[in-house]
Amino acid sequence: MWQLRRSLWSHDFLPHTLNIDSRTGSLPIKFAPLFIPLERRLQTLAAVFLVFLCIFSQVTFTSLLVYCLFFTSYKWIPLLYLTWMAVDWDVGETGGREIA
């Protein structure tokens, strides 16, 4: 038990790749090579896009809904959406929709 506590406090559990550079005081960063195929770069771009979409989509689309409702002449779009949301509120709790 004492050995476990001592190892947690002595930072032995950190990976050895987190060596701080003594000259700059920052972590060393290794960038990707320049000659990576375009397909791999597009895959990375798609993964980054999905992460940002999951993080920021709720705030973005709620702001867009409020903007359309109060500041444009397209008030019918958010009102239609909010009406559908009110009608469809309990569908998940009642077992979903029937497939005809």
User: Would 76 be classed as within a structural domain?
Assistant: yes
Helix (H, G, I), strand (E, B) or coil at 85: helix
> What pTM was computed for the model?
0.49
User: Would 16 be classed as within a structural domain?
Assistant: no
User: Would 53 be classed as within a structural domain?
Assistant: yes
User: Would 56 be classed as within a structural domain?
Assistant: yes
User: Would 100 be classed as within a structural domain?
Assistant: no
User: Would 20 be classed as within a structural domain?
Assistant: no
Q: Which long-range contacts (CB under 8 A, 24 or more apart) does 54-61 make?
A: none
Q: What is the pLDDT of residues 59-93, one digit of tens each?
A: 999 999 999 999 999 999 999 999 999 998 888 88
CA angle, corner 63, sides to 59 and 65, nearest 5?
A: 120
User: Would 62 be classed as within a structural domain?
Assistant: yes
User: Would 26 be classed as within a structural domain?
Assistant: no
Distance CA 35, CA 38 (A): 9
Mean pLDDT computed over every residue of the chain: 80
Domain enclosing residue 58, as ranges: 38-86
